[in-house]
Amino acid sequence: MTDMLSILAQHGYVLIFVVLLAEAGGLPFPASIALVAAGAGVASHALWGPSVVFVAIIALLLGDSVQFFLGRYMGWALLGFLCRVSMNPETCILRSAESFYKRGKVTLVISKFIPGVNSMAAPLAGSMKMRFAQFLRLDFLGALLYVSAYLTLGYLSRDFLAATLRSIHLAGRVMEIIVAAALVVYIAYRIVQACKYREYKVVPRVQVQELAARLTSDYPAKVMIVDVRSHGYYDIGAERIKGSIRIEPNNLEVEIKNLPREKDIYLYCT
Amino acid sequence: MAHILREKGFNTFVIVGGLTAWRKAGEPLESVPKDDLVKLPTFS
């Protein structure tokens, strides 16, 4: 605990700024833990409370604003990217947009407390063309709530934190074993996945030039170009390859009935 | 998706680089028809 407080006293404001900026920028940084530690630092007079609040809120607003403007200028592509890890990207995009439209204001205020939602709220607000002044106002409220909550927790539980840190030291060995086991499980999972995909026949890949040349000779009798992007159909002015059709990946079972078996099917995404 | 189509007997290929490569090569594009656009809600 003494070590931690000494680090906080020396580099506390910079550390808080960097960690909170990184987290607001979408990186997996433990901002809440940094704030709890800062709260303990305030309780032991290593840091000055109002400065911590100021630095933390500026970092959060800065990171969130970058995300907001990324969402504004990238349109739905950013949400599409964030939804790629979802089991069903199409549903993820539609549900996120509808849910945020209904509860967007409240979501912005509480989003920082909800892992996953915190990285999507600001870009969603940008994609959905929320006014920046309104976004900033709501985001400020959210940041103030978030920073105050964790600083207060750290401030009130300084003694508990010291005890916890001692326990964490003891539990360190156990954690190492758990992390190593998780790593082994993850590697095994990746190997199983790789073997599973090896069972499929390899799908031939064609270069753009090759297909373009084919289009001038065979098109459209033997060729069908299919757009399988899970986003790209949300922004006015969106483009696709000339003559292509869209197949929604999640609706494949239905769409497959209309595909011609006599044609070569060329798939593309973003 | 390409794997699934192949399994179902379709002669499927994947375009390397997707739409980005197609655009970079200067090949023809078209606007997505209005009827195909999915309307998502916006605040403005």
Average pLDDT, chain A: 80
* Amino acid sitting at position A238: A
pLDDT at residue A200 greater than cutoff 60: no
Pairwise CB contact (< 8 Å): A228 & B1 = yes
For residue A62, the tally of other CB atoms under 10 A from its CB is 14
A256-267 burial code (b ≥16 CB/10 A, e <16): eeebeeebbbbb
Instruction: Show me where the domains of chain B are located.
Output: 1-26
Q: Tell whether A17 and A149 lie within a shared domain.
A: yes
Could you report how far apart the first and last alpha carbons of chain B are, in Å? Answer: 36
**pLDDT given for residue B24 in this prediction:** 93
**pLDDT given for residue A232 in this prediction:** 57
Q: Tell whether A58 and A119 lie within a shared domain.
A: yes
**pLDDT given for residue A168 in this prediction:** 57
Q: Which of A152-161, A183-192, A236-245, A258-267 has the highest mean pLDDT?
A: A258-267
Paired strand residues for B14: A205, A267
Mean pLDDT within A28-57: 86
Greater confidence (A254 vs A28) lies with A254
- Residue of B3, B4, B22 to mutate, interface with A, max A Cβ within 10 Å: B22
pLDDT at residue A11 greater than cutoff 70: yes
Is A137 within the bounds of a domain? yes
Q: Are A259 and A224 in contact (CB under 8 A)?
A: yes
User: pLDDT tens, B1-30?
Assistant: 888 888 888 899 999 998 889 999 999 998
Mean pLDDT within A228-246: 76
Portion of chain A with pLDDT greater than 70, in percent: 78
Q: Tell whether A92 and A18 lie within a shared domain.
A: yes
Paired strand residues for A265: A224, B12
How many inter-chain contacts (A to B, CB under 8 Å) are there? 143
Is A35 within the bounds of a domain? yes
Is A18 within the bounds of a domain? yes
A264 and B CB contact within 8 Å:
yes
Structural domains of chain A, count? 2
Mean pLDDT within A200-219: 81
**pLDDT given for residue A147 in this prediction:** 93
* Inter-CA distances, A240 with A170, A224, A243, A246, A270, Å: 58, 14, 8, 9, 9
Half-sphere exposure for A165 (CA within 13 Å, toward CB): 16
B3 and A CB contact within 8 Å:
yes
Q: Round to whole Å and give the CA distance between A30 and A20.
A: 8
Q: Round to whole Å and give the CA distance between A51 and A33.
A: 18
Is A172 within the bounds of a domain? no
Q: Are A233 and B36 in contact (CB under 8 A)?
A: yes
Q: Tell whether A16 and A89 lie within a shared domain.
A: yes
* Amino acid sitting at position A126: G
Mean pLDDT within A77-103: 69
**pLDDT given for residue A171 in this prediction:** 61
B35 and A CB contact within 8 Å:
no
Q: Tell whether A129 and A55 lie within a shared domain.
A: yes
Portion of chain A with pLDDT greater than 90, in percent: 18
Pairing state of beta strands A239-241 and B29-31? Answer: antiparallel
With bands split at pLDDT 50, 70 and 90, how would you rate the model's confidence at A231? low
Q: Tell whether A74 and A135 lie within a shared domain.
A: yes
Pairing state of beta strands A223-227 and B29-31? Answer: unpaired
B2 to chain A: which residues are within 8 Å by CB?
Answer: 203, 267
Q: Round to whole Å and give the CA distance between A195 and A190.
A: 9
Q: Find all residues with CB under 8 Å of A13, minimum gap 6, and list them.
A: A47, A51, A52, A55
The secondary structure element, H or E, covering residue B15 is strand B11-15
Q: Are A143 and A56 in contact (CB under 8 A)?
A: yes
Q: Which of A113-127, A134-148, A234-248 has the highest mean pLDDT?
A: A134-148
Is A139 within the bounds of a domain? yes
A234 to chain B: which residues are within 8 Å by CB?
Answer: 37-38, 40
- Shortest distance, CA A241 to any CA of chain B (angstroms): 5
Q: Tell whether A133 and A264 lie within a shared domain.
A: no
Mean pLDDT within A52-81: 86
Q: Are A171 and A60 in contact (CB under 8 A)?
A: no
**pLDDT given for residue A176 in this prediction:** 72
Q: Tell whether A17 and A92 lie within a shared domain.
A: yes
ipTM: 0.90
Range of the domain at A227: 208-268
